[in-house]
Amino acid sequence: MNALGADATYAALVREQARIVVAENAMKWGALRPSAVGFNFDQADALVAFAEANRMKIRGHNLAWHQNNPKWLEATATKENARELLVTHIETVAGRYAGRMHSWDVVNEAIHVEDGRADGLRNSLWLRLVGEDYIELAFKTAREADPQALLTYNDYGIEAETREGEQKREAAIEMLRRMVARRVPVDAVGVQSHIAAASGGNKAAASQYGAGLMRFIAAVRELGLQVFVTEMDVNDRALAADEPVRDAAVAAAYRQYLELVLGDPAVKAVLTWGITDRYTWLGHEAGRADGKAERPLLFDAEGKAKAAFFAMREAFDQRGTIRPTG
Ligand code: XIL
């Protein structure tokens, strides 16, 4: 939101390229709830106004998460008041934009198999204080507050063709099956898709994401739910410094990944997490070992389309010719 206000080149690029937008932070608890009393909707309202002025769809992100919870919440939430805090938040936030959102990430990243529970649920603030039915409570409250938004369960790490990835997929599909069986109003699954470019180029990339992810997407489809790629970017940490080589490997990863997932008709939207390399969130956390800026997005720091942009465009163009799996 800061870049959208301060950088005219960036704002023009978003206007030109995007048909659906999501705020990186402006709709999280930390932004909306600076104190225990009242809400601050300045940035969230600005995003909605920008999107509507440009006829873009809007994703809301997110209503319940283990991160970005304000200090006052962590300090004052108890088993006695947590339900009420969560319900009031969802009623107020989803209610404010009712009828105007494409979808809401109602619950974000609720699975963390490493926490050791049999159901794979993450030992988050909401789980500890509300109990495991916080997920159900959040979705039901969101449906009442905004009956039109597609209510989404969003998570990371369910992409990878690894043991950890498979465990996470299993826990996620079990949770979704329980939700559907109990008529919890869930409409979609967000596959965040913070993926990595492999150092060996196309061939190595092809083994990182594949059959496990496609089985998961098919299982989600069979539950009657849609799938959104919600936060795609391709980190280039495994690659040497040379920029053309990095850009080619990142583009190959976009192409391979998108051609793969777009092969299933349940996948209805693709969003990246950021537009240009200038404002990527990557590198703020564990970046490249050589300290160089990462190049994970479709446009470079000047807003120029990179190979990744053309790879995505071709994957979209090709979709009609790919046969659905399963
Ligand atoms: C990230 C933002 O991009 C950063 O600006 C912030 O410091 C931390 O959160 N998964 C999510 C997003 O669901 O909310 C995260 O966004 C990235 C990972």
Residue 285 included in any domain:
yes
Strands 226-235 and 150-155 come out as: unpaired
Residue 255 included in any domain:
yes
Residue 87 included in any domain:
no
Residue ranges of the chain with per-residue pLDDT less than 70:
201-206, 284-285, 321-326
Residue 206 included in any domain:
yes
Closest ligand 1 atom, residue 154 Cα: 13
Contacts 24+ apart (CB under 8 A), 53-58: 54/15, 56/18, 56/19, 56/20, 56/21, 57/19, 57/20, 57/21, 57/102, 58/20, 58/21, 58/22, 58/97, 58/100, 58/101, 58/102
d(CA 293, CA 146): 40
Q: Is the CB of 283 under 6 A from ligand 1?
A: no
What residues contact residue 23 under an 8 Å CB cut-off, 6+ apart?
A: 1, 43, 44, 47, 61
Closest ligand 1 atom, residue 230 Cα: 13
Residue 251 included in any domain:
yes
Domain enclosing residue 164, as ranges = 156-318
Contacts 24+ apart (CB under 8 A), 307-313: 307/247, 307/248, 307/250, 307/251, 308/234, 308/247, 308/250, 308/251, 308/254, 310/251, 311/251, 311/252, 311/254, 311/255, 311/258, 312/254, 312/255, 312/258, 312/270
pTM metric for this prediction: 0.96
Residue 296 included in any domain:
yes
Residue 217 included in any domain:
yes
DSSP 65-130: -SSS--HHHHHH--TTTHHHHHHHHHHHHHHHTTTT-SEEEEEES-B-GGG--TT-B---HHHHHH
Q: Tell me, letter by letter, the H, E, C secondary structure of 33-70.
A: CCCCCCCCCHHHHHHHHHHHHCCCEEEEEEEECCCCCC
Probe ligand 1: pick from 1, 22, 25, 108, max atoms within 8 Å of CB?
25
Q: Is the CB of 24 under 6 A from ligand 1?
A: yes
Active site residue 259: no
Number of domains in the chain: 1
Residue 128 included in any domain:
no
DSSP, collapsed to helix, strand or coil, labels residue 199 as coil
Q: What is the CA radius of gyration of the chain?
A: 19
24 alpha carbon – ligand 1 mean position (Å): 6
For the chain, how many residues are written?
Answer: 326
Which entry of 136, 159, 231, 294 is annotated as an active-site residue?
231
Interhelix angle 134-145/82-96, nearest 10 degrees? 30
**What is the pLDDT, as a whole number, of residue 326?**
45
**What is the pLDDT, as a whole number, of residue 204?**
64
Closest ligand 1 atom, residue 65 Cα: 13
Tokens of 193: 């898709």
Active site residue 80: no
Q: Which residues pair with 154 in a beta bridge?
A: 108, 190
Cα dist. 276→7, 22, 300 in Å?
12, 14, 5
**CATH code, domain carrying 216:** 3.20.20.80
205 alpha carbon – ligand 1 mean position (Å): 24
DSSP 1-13: -HHHHH-HHHHHH
Residue nearest to atom 12 of ligand 1 (CA): 24
